[in-house]
Amino acid sequence: MTLGRIVEVTFTLIRRHARVLIPLYAVVDLPLYVLTTIASDAFVADLTRAVGPGGLAEPAAISAEEAAILLPGFLQVMATTLLLGVVSAIGAGAIAIAVREALEDRPPRFLAALGGAVRRSVALIGSSLIALAATVALLAVGFGMLVLLGIASGGPALTPGGGVTTFLALIVAIAIAVGIVALQVRWTFQFAAATLDGQGAVSTLRRSWRVTRGSAWRVFGVTLLFVFMTFVLGSLVVELGTAIAAGPVSGDAAVAGGISLVAGAIASSVIGVVVPVALTVMYLDLRSRFADPA
């Protein structure tokens, strides 16, 4: 399928089956988005109070006692963000089932699609955790290499003056970044492989790797396009909500905060559905190249 065809099919599916597709994505994404937003806002408020008016530019702006107070909030933000990244695979899996039904001229059903994704939740969450572990392992390798470079040079690996050590450190950082992006691209379709092909956690990643063979750059470009598209649309919705919150209701902090939260939730759940729909369409197209599509 051409890029134009993928875009056309994606938005046609969303337009025709919005009453099923959007709730399927929102039922998982919305509660986690609200939880993550509340945790992030609370942490930012605590950080602002701890830093004070001078900002982080002041030396020792945060004391050890203040850092200890901030640590639980920071860990909460990290935990909710991780939960969002892992559990959102269930919503994407439900989207994949509904898209397949729609493309096969069968009306997608909310409960059937969600139930199918829940039944495959072990594979969905398991593959997400494996992908996360691989990313963390690459970061750990990169950090370890930077530490070794610093030990070998007798100082920091990255220094303002540059030099051979800094050059090697930059090479290591770039290589790790490229490796992480490559893994994410090759494992893009793990949610679809788990729900549409009944693959296990490990075989799901293997399946996605196989499907993207020879098409990694195309998958990367198309995914980037849809992510950018949803980012722009979502930002417009958030800015609209912020403008409303800063208008007549700006005097009521609770109402203004509620409007901003609703705007962000709409941007995340309603507009965010575009990406898993597009990826499912692309996965089914790429999978059709194989003689054993199941």
Q: What is the pLDDT of residues 244-285, one digit of tens each?
A: 666 655 555 666 666 676 777 777 778 889 999 999 999 999
Is the model's pLDDT at 53 over the cut of 60?
no
Q: What is the pLDDT of residues 171-192, one digit of tens each?
A: 888 899 999 999 999 999 999 9
Interval 119-148 mean pLDDT? 88
Interval 126-136 mean pLDDT? 89
The predicted structure's pLDDT at residue 64: 62
d(CA 52, CA 285): 54
The predicted structure's pLDDT at residue 26: 85
The predicted structure's pLDDT at residue 59: 46
Instruction: Give the CA distances from residue 121 to residues 53, 128, 153, 201, in Å, rounded to whole numbers and listed in that order.
Output: 46, 10, 48, 10
Is the model's pLDDT at 161 over the cut of 60?
no
The predicted structure's pLDDT at residue 294: 47
b/e map 78-112, b = 16+ CB within 10 Å: eebeeebebbbbbbbbbbbbbbbbbeeeeebeeee
Comparing 53-62, 200-209, 241-250, which segment has the lowest mean pLDDT? 53-62
The predicted structure's pLDDT at residue 293: 46
For the stretch 212-217, contacts whose Cβ atoms lie closer than 8 Å and that sit 24 or more positions apart, written own/partner, are: 212/185, 212/186, 212/188, 212/286, 215/286, 216/182, 216/185, 216/186
Q: What is the pLDDT of residues 9-21, one digit of tens each?
A: 999 999 999 999 9
Residue type at 97? I
Q: What is the mean pLDDT of the chain?
A: 81
Is the model's pLDDT at 239 over the cut of 80?
no
- Percentage of the chain beyond pLDDT 70 is 77
How confident is residue 78, by pLDDT bands cut at 50, 70 and 90? confident
d(CA 250, CA 253): 6
| Token duo for residue 162 | 């540059």
